[in-house]
Amino acid sequence: MSLSMRDPVIPGTSMAYHPFLPHRAPDFAMSAVLGHQPPFFPALTLPPNGAAALSLPGALAKPIMDQLVGAAETGIPFSSLGPQAHLRPLKTMEPEEEVEDDPKVHLEAKELWDQFHKRGTEMVITKSGRRMFPPFKVRCSGLDKKAKYILLMDIIAADDCRYKFHNSRWMVAGKADPEMPKRMYIHPDSPATGEQWMSKVVTFHKLKLTNNISDKHGFTLAFPSDHATWQGNYSFGTQTILNSMHKYQPRFHIVRANDILKLPYSTFRTYLFPETEFIAVTAYQNDKITQLKIDNNPFAKGFRDTGNGRREKRKQLTLQSMRVFDDRHRKENGTSDESSSEQAAFNCFAQSSSPAVSTVGTSNLKDLCPSEGESDAEAESKEEHGPEACDAAKISTTTSEEPSRDKGSPAVKAHLFAAEPGGRPRDSGRLGKASPDSRHSPATISSSTRGLGAEERRSPGREAAATSKAEEARALPAKEAFAPLSVQTDAAAAHLGQGPLPGLGFAPGLAGQQFFNGHPLFLHPGQFAMGGAFSSMAAGMGPLLATVSGASTGVSGLDSTAMASAAAAQGLSGASAATLPFHLQQHVLASQGLAMSPFGSLFPYPYTYMAAAAAASSAAASSSVHRHPFLNLNTMRPRLRYSPYSIPVPVPDSSSLLSTALPSMAAAAGPLDGKAAALAASPASVAVDSGSELNSRSSTLSSSSVSLSPKLCPEKEAATSELQSIQRLVSGLEAKPDRSRSASP
């Protein structure tokens, strides 16, 4: 099993071929040269270095001419396009990179990561999304202070294996499940100047990991075919979808670009930190890693104590409170107002059940666990001087990027780990990893599409890069899910957008795009729920969507009719194109033309040349069977993967649930069914409580309140009796010291 250090570089990269270049700033435009505003105008816009690209007439001009011909076939007279000689930009762009940069990246919290790696590599994923722990934080240096950069992160499959935790160790348990759609997460501060990035630790703590294929944090932009610039759907989100029990490798990317739109044309520098590799789990398997996290994660502070576990404390407090209740009940029974006394008693019980709100509880908490405060303090101290402090003091992981960067030509710089010079950075199949010390250098890969060089220079890591490239292709088959574009589900959202940019996860705050700001987009109404900032961000994604749509058309064979249907189904009117700014309308029209069949054959080009490759590479690929559809032209049809649309959702017969299900089972049937089931199953307060819990995430306390309160529950006596029984039962098990502490408040 070979590891995949994915090489984001695609040989022969040259944006000059890209027929789907999105509309760009006027200085890149050629419209004036062409003498009109052709519908396909955006297709002819140029990358920042377009001038240089076009300076190579022969090979470069032809694809463009092909486009023109294609455009003509779509109804535009070729003659109206003017002579080919005019295919040059009006304005020559100055090279963007006047100041050479030499980015270096340090992994922060290195010690924590090392411990993480030593003790186990479990990273919890949940349905609702879980943050990474340890947090992925880096510090950058060597950036051009003035230049703007976009920082991204993604997580790729580390290998093709599924794992299991057996005999206290992780073992390969078979072949990996179909890969989840990959997403890129763009740091919310992007783009920012090098100076800004270097002035702080760059954290990606907002990124969440989930196993929820239909996660709601993914968004799909849907563009109706009748006026859509970018046909097809594109999903992006702040959550990365992972498979449980699979191994993953986070990656960090630095892109020198002042605009998200330029991502596809910019150089990606990719950094791998082997110690950040992890196995996704839905529940911890290894106590060591659990403890590490408890010790280091502030949110888990509640579990951070030496003596009794929190649960135990809670149990003790509960027992204690019950005793109080019992005492009171006995004392007051028959003499005073039963209801009020019991209410008071219950209040006591309720409060005590929640130490946080009970003075008794809190004081007793201390009594019961005298070491807690101290241990917390210790933990605090430990934390302060722990990993974080160490981070500041010592950065042990540093990149060693080649100082000489090949400007303008595609380059690969794979800086392999010290332990594995010149070879594969990792062997994914290995379970016994190199020691952390051997991994202090991250793998650094730099990919560029700016250059024109047809040849790719490769570092000694070429082999690894080649391997990774093959593996890179593995994830792309997920794009199979392009198919049912008319279906707008979250699952689709999560699944689509697997083009060269496999879904960009934009942090909510990401904004400041210079194009399309404030303009309406053709978003699926049910899927775009973010604010203006994000809207503009999403709008900025347009051109990227164009590339995706290209993939849809070229690879999946999606025709525009399908999109039209989708558009119609979404109630999106083609007239809405009129709401677009002029340049966007141009883009819209042009893209329509481009999306048509004459250009279908061009698809392999753009993706082959897409330097968004690092993003593309985020779509992890398997090494052998599955190949990048844009790298291997013979594999235009990616492997069939799970379909988000075909996930069967068996609806249990509610009647059977009603008749047989336990309340807890009824809960699975949904709130209404659950409640109905609870009600139908039994009139007992327990069942009713369960039902009430189904309707709201009410706490146990409130539920208990319903069932135990004499004012609210008609079965007061029964409840009281039951409570007493429980209390007696528990008292028998209770430790004596606790009893001695159980004084009435």
Positions touching DNA (CB under 7 A) are 124, 126-127, 129-131, 133, 164-165, 173, 208, 211-212, 244-245, 281-285, 290, 293-294, 297-303, 309-314, 353-356, 662, 664-665, 667, 693-694, 697-701, 703
3-state helix, strand, coil in the chain (%, to 5): 45, 15, 45
Where do runs of H (alpha helix) occur along 106-188? 110-119
Which C-beta is closer to DNA: that of 2 or that of 211? 211
Give the shortest CB-481-to-DNA separation in angstroms: 19
Instruction: Give the Cα separation of 555 and 454 in Å (integer).
Output: 24
Which C-beta is closer to DNA: that of 578 or that of 651? 651
* Strand 246-256 with 278-281, pairing: antiparallel
Nearby residues of 702 by Cβ (< 8 Å), 6 or more positions away: none
Give the shortest CB-112-to-DNA separation in angstroms: 13
Give the shortest CB-130-to-DNA separation in angstroms: 5
Which C-beta is closer to DNA: that of 222 or that of 369? 369
Instruction: Give the Cα separation of 594 and 18 in Å (integer).
Output: 11
Where do runs of H (alpha helix) occur along 259-370? 287-296, 310-332, 338-353, 359-368
Instruction: Give the Cα separation of 190 and 607 in Å (integer).
Output: 24
Instruction: Give the Cα separation of 552 and 546 in Å (integer).
Output: 10
Which C-beta is closer to DNA: that of 208 or that of 405? 208
Give the shortest CB-318-to-DNA separation in angstroms: 9
Give the shortest CB-444-to-DNA separation in angstroms: 28
* Cβ atoms 617, 502 nearer than 8 A: no
What CA–CA distances, in Å, run from 440 to 114, 391, 492, 603, 664? 10, 14, 39, 40, 49
Give the shortest CB-210-to-DNA separation in angstroms: 9
Which C-beta is closer to DNA: that of 517 or that of 682? 682
Nearby residues of 230 by Cβ (< 8 Å), 6 or more positions away: 221, 223, 542, 543, 544, 545, 546, 547, 548, 549, 591
Of the candidates 448, 512, 544, 508, the one whose C-alpha atom is nearest the C-alpha of residue 191 is 512
Instruction: Give the Cα separation of 699 and 689 in Å (integer).
Output: 10
Which C-beta is closer to DNA: that of 282 or that of 339? 282
Amino acid at 409: S
Which C-beta is closer to DNA: that of 43 or that of 241? 241
Instruction: Give the Cα separation of 150 and 193 in Å (integer).
Output: 9
Give the shortest CB-122-to-DNA separation in angstroms: 9
Give the shortest CB-592-to-DNA separation in angstroms: 39
Which C-beta is closer to DNA: that of 383 or that of 427? 383
Which C-beta is closer to DNA: that of 321 or that of 547? 321
Instruction: Give the Cα separation of 621 and 428 in Å (integer).
Output: 13
* Cβ atoms 702, 350 nearer than 8 A: no
Of the candidates 167, 127, 264, the one whose C-alpha atom is nearest the C-alpha of residue 544 is 264
Give the shortest CB-729-to-DNA separation in angstroms: 15
Which C-beta is closer to DNA: that of 280 or that of 614? 280
Which C-beta is closer to DNA: that of 283 or that of 640? 283
What is the rounded (10 degree) CA torsion for 626, 627, 628, 632?
-150
Give the shortest CB-624-to-DNA separation in angstroms: 25
Where do runs of H (alpha helix) occur along 485-581? 490-495, 532-540, 542-556, 560-569
Which C-beta is closer to DNA: that of 66 or that of 189? 189
Give the shortest CB-476-to-DNA separation in angstroms: 24
Which C-beta is closer to DNA: that of 297 or that of 597? 297
Which C-beta is closer to DNA: that of 56 or that of 389? 389
What CA–CA distances, in Å, run from 673 to 649, 656, 661, 665, 677? 16, 11, 11, 10, 6
Give the shortest CB-165-to-DNA separation in angstroms: 5
DSSP annotation of 159 reads E
Which C-beta is closer to DNA: that of 26 or that of 373? 373
Instruction: Give the Cα separation of 660 and 655 in Å (integer).
Output: 9
Give the shortest CB-32-to-DNA separation in angstroms: 48
Give the shortest CB-164-to-DNA separation in angstroms: 4
Nearby residues of 150 by Cβ (< 8 Å), 6 or more positions away: 186, 187, 190, 191, 254, 255, 256, 257, 260, 263, 266
Give the shortest CB-315-to-DNA separation in angstroms: 9
* Cβ atoms 415, 402 nearer than 8 A: yes
* Cβ atoms 744, 331 nearer than 8 A: no
Nearby residues of 301 by Cβ (< 8 Å), 6 or more positions away: 376, 379
